[in-house]
Amino acid sequence: MSHAGALLLGAVAYDPKVVAIWDGFREYFAERGLDFDYVLYSNYERQVASHLAGHIHVAWNSPLAWLQTEAAAAKLGRRAEAICMRDTDRDLRSVILVQQGSPIHEVGELAGMRVGVGAKDSPQGYLLPLDLLAQSGLNVGRDLSVVPFDVLLGKHGDHIGGERLAVEALTRGEVDAACILDGNYLAFAQAGLLPSGSARVLARTALYDHCNFTVLDDAPAEQVARFRELLLEMSYADPKIRPLLDMEGLKQWLPGRTEGYLPLAAAVERFGALQPFLAELGL
């Protein structure tokens, strides 16, 4: 790719608001002298492949897409870097819920039970909570019945419809447990999806990190540095930028870090979640 012209970012269109978010950020960057544009993808696998092919300079990646990029880059003798993330991308947990009156009080008691999960490519609604069950001694493929709600595969759980369906199935008694992001537990309760006192947390995963801006080693260094600088300078006190930050779910951009992806790396290793994608790339 020629590095002349705009710094080009890729993002996945998991919701219509994505257009408003990046249009607003593009204006913000332009006012500060950074030529910036974006390309929307329907799924992360396409975005990662395009990034590796040089079609974009920066990718706004899910945690699974970060691991896909990092693994593919390593096989190609290249290097991926996480340059920035939201304050809300750090130190998350997923929870396994049961009905308040359920006789299940230990994870091991889920043996023989039905566990509702989000989409199969969702780190928070599928991979991480199922890895927690596996760490607890349950054979996920043998000891329990996993009921996936595969809403918008390719979005890596950014669209939380699968988690919502899992919770609805729990409230109807169609599953014995449901796996969701801890923050969605609160959001679903506030929205009335989980009436007060109707569910309780059976188990929580270890802390993990979520999305990041990813660059590869051929990215235009000066433009990337300016992009990162402008992100870190964004202020929630700015009334013009605050609505965009609210839509994107943060109050402050923070430097990228990668140690928070170790729990997900262990989960994808356990379930072989990277191999099909790497095979599609011929790696």
The answer to whether 159 and 126 are in contact (CB under 8 A) is no
Interatomic CA distance for residues 212 and 269, integer angstroms = 20
For the cut 90, the answer to whether the pLDDT of residue 172 exceeds it is yes
Separation in Å, CA 234 to CA 25, 227, 237: 10, 11, 9
Give residue 282's region: left, alpha or beta (phi > 0; psi -120 to 50): left
Look-up of token digits 């950020």: 25
pLDDT digits (tens, 9 = 90+) for 186-235: 999 999 999 888 999 999 999 999 999 999 999 999 999 999 999 999 99
**Token reading at 262:** 């170790």
Q: How many helices (H) and strands (E) does the chain have?
A: 10, 11
Please choose, from the candidates 102, 58, 89, 71, the residue with its C-alpha nearest in 3D space to the C-alpha of residue 217. Answer: 58
pLDDT digits (tens, 9 = 90+) for 28-66: 999 999 999 999 999 999 999 999 999 999 999 999 999
CATH numbers and ranges of domains, the chain = 7-89+210-280 (3.40.190.10), 94-204 (3.40.190.10)
Cite the beta strand spans of the chain per DSSP E: 7-12, 36-41, 58-61, 80-86, 94-99, 114-117, 145-148, 177-181, 199-204, 212-216, 253-255
Q: What integer pLDDT is reported at residue 4 of this predicted model?
A: 58
Look-up of token digits 């506030």: 190
Interatomic CA distance for residues 158 and 24, integer angstroms = 20
pLDDT digits (tens, 9 = 90+) for 93-141: 999 999 999 999 999 999 999 999 999 999 999 999 999 999 999 999 8
Please choose, from the candidates 133, 131, 128, 82, the residue with its C-alpha nearest in 3D space to the C-alpha of residue 106. Answer: 133
Q: Residue 60: phi, psi to the nearest 5?
A: -90, 100
